[in-house]
Amino acid sequence: MVKQGIQIFARAKPTKQKLAGIYEVYEDDNGTSCLAFTVPKDLADGYINNKREVYKFRFDKVFDQDSKQDEIFEEVAQGVIDNVLTGYNGTIFAYGQTGSGKTFTITGGAERYVDRGLIPRSLSYIFEYFEKHSETVFTAHISYLEIYMESGYDLLDPKHEASKLEDLPKVTLFEDNDSNIHLKNLSMHQASNEEEALNLLFLGDTNRMIAETPMNQASTRSHCIFTIHISSRDPGSATIRRAKLHLVDLAGSERVGKTNVGGTLLTEAKYINLSLHYLEQVIVALSEKSRSHIPYRNSMMTSVLRDSLGGNCMTTMIATCSLEKKNLDESISTCRFAQRVAMIKNDVLLNEEIDPKLMIAQLKAEVQRLKDELAMATGQEYTGELTENEMDRLRQMVKSYIEDVDPEAVLSVGADMRKINYCFQLLKNYLLDKSKLKPSPPPQKTPTMNGDHDSSYLGNHTELSKLKDLIRQRDNEINILVGMLKKEKKRAADLGVSGKQGGGRFYDRTGVAPDGVRRSTSQPLNDDSGNELSNKRSTSRTRENGRPSSDTTEHREQPQAAGEDSSHHRPSSAYRRKLDEMSVGRKEAFETFRRDYDHNDTIEENKQTLKLRYADAKRLGEQTRSKRKLNNTEFDVQCKVQGELHSTAFS
């Protein structure tokens, strides 16, 4: 609870008369706005006259004749509306003499848009605030009450059947046990936007009681209270804040002796002055600390404004003053009334309450959650199938969970195993459907020995993977070179042995024999094996092409001479020494590389496999060579027999 004083403002009505020396607006040494009136002494009262001449009054701010409507709104109403939007009650009321500008300040003029008063400007400000804070749920309801001759009327008659004031629904008061005032037959209309709210304001203004008086051509003969009820709730919260904003246009006080009115106008003036008198009594009682009774029930207006005066409300008053010389007494009386109002302290509270519907829903959800936890802790399983509504809700939850880009998103369905299993099934179906729809990746080209890569390879690999592949390619090249060196060394040793025997052939570095047939350098081949390999290749080419190969025929027709010397194919001694030195240096490098290489085990296994295959090939070669020797022996025997036959015939 906060003690909040009532703020008071003063506004001077513009006039065309010369007012030099009658009033003054200034600021004192403390920076407080002051309004001073000067009343010259009347010589008719005599030379000895102790009547006071200067009257000074302090206000929170004084608005001179040139003040604009937007300035009035910003200083008087905007702060109160901001508090109302946060949950505090607020009241703004205008008080003053008839014709001093109360209705123009509260409602505004109808001729120009810039002459809008506090009520239409407040509606615009409130709905703009609603749009800026769209995350909060706001609702606004409007009521319009008129108090005419101590009777209340609803200016927003929902039936719109009234042709005169007496036909409007009559509003009555009643008080509950907590001393709260309730208005019966006062309708409240919801406004969802500014246009609807302004339409309600215009409807109420057309039903107001207005009459022409000597003081004002269009004088409001009643008190009008325009109330905006605002409720707000944050998303997911069960707390509702309710506040109301009263914008009160009081009827103007007047002296019957000056106006000389009669009839209905006189009766209206009596009721107006009486209700304002009761209002002043309430204010005087509130300003006196020793008073225990506040006469709110004396009039309907003081009963309705019970919260605004000394209750739970932030209240602001604007006193309108007429600066003409004939109205100085009424203007001074108005300022004195404002000074008494400033002494009142209100007890301001934040109007919060718990929405029973939301609280019931939250309690039900909490009970269900506790039941789920208890069922999971005790091992009790639910019986029955999930309803269609539950499955739809679970599908929506899983869909939202899959589409959520937040890596820390959580899918919470409670402790019901039926729901958990159903969600797992939905996720599994989603993955299966996604794998079916996923296109197969395009074939990637294997990197060649020359380092060529296709575009897909470069597009689908990162820089790190490309570097790893490059290193792997270099390792393969080193392995191939080392293997070639090893084979070269072994072939040189085999050539040395074959040269001593005189029956071997020499092959160059490419492993191609003089007959044009490429042979493996890892096997010591002789003429028979070479001829056999040539015969097999010739046979295969003949089967593929359907006719014998000419190259094979030429090789068969040109056998090597039996006594041909092959010593000129042997490498020179300098070349052999250089080859030995190169082999020894590279052997050490190779041993170091082989010791540190990661795939030594695989290489050893491959070597053992090659040895076994080499042994099988050697065995098959021996068998082939034996068969050829047998064929050659048979051929020699036949030749020998034929020779003997020829010699016998000639002899």
96 appears as a binding residue in the annotation: yes
**Residue 642 in tokens:** 């034929």
Check if the beta carbon of residue 141 is closer than 8 Å to that of residue 248: no
Is 102 known to sit in a ligand binding site? Answer: yes
Q: Are 354 and 237 in contact (CB under 8 A)?
A: no
Task: Confirm or deny that 315 is annotated as ligand binding.
Answer: no
Write b or e for each residue in 229-262: b if 16 or more Cβ atoms lie within 10 A of its Cβ, otherwise e.
Answer: bbbbbeeeebebbebbbbbbbbbbbbbeeeeebe
- Tell me how far apart the alpha carbons of residues 372 and 380 are, in angstroms, rounded to a whole number: 9
451 is in an annotated binding site: no
Work out the widest C-alpha separation in the chain, in whole angstroms: 202
79 is in an annotated binding site: no
Question: Which contacts qualify for 269-273: CB closer than 8 Å, 24 or more apart?
Answer: 271/148, 271/149, 271/150, 272/221, 272/223
Give all strands (DSSP E) within 341-478, no chain letters. 345-348, 352-354
Residue 629, token pair as written in the block:
């020797």
Rounded Cα distance between 436 and 402, Å, is: 18
Residues in the chain: 651
Q: Give the span between the Cα atoms of 142 and 158, in whole angstroms.
A: 12
99 annotated binding-site participant: yes
How far is it, in rounded angstroms, from Cα 373 to Cα 375?
A: 5
440 is in an annotated binding site: no
| DSSP codes, 599-635 | THHHHHHHHHHHHHHHHHHHHHHHHHHHHHHHHHHHH
Output the CA torsion 277→283→12→54 (10° steps): 90
Helices marked H in 502-572 — which ranges?
527-545, 550-557
Residue 503 annotated as lining a ligand binding site: no
Closest CA to 590 of 475, 429, 482: 482
DSSP state of 253: B
And the tokens for 403?
Answer: 């589409």
- E strands, 149-218, are 151-154, 170-175, 181-184, 189-190, 210-211
Q: From residue 475, give the alpha-carbon distance in Å to each of 449, 453, 528, 585, 591.
A: 11, 17, 38, 19, 15
Question: Binding site for ATP: which residues?
Answer: 96-103
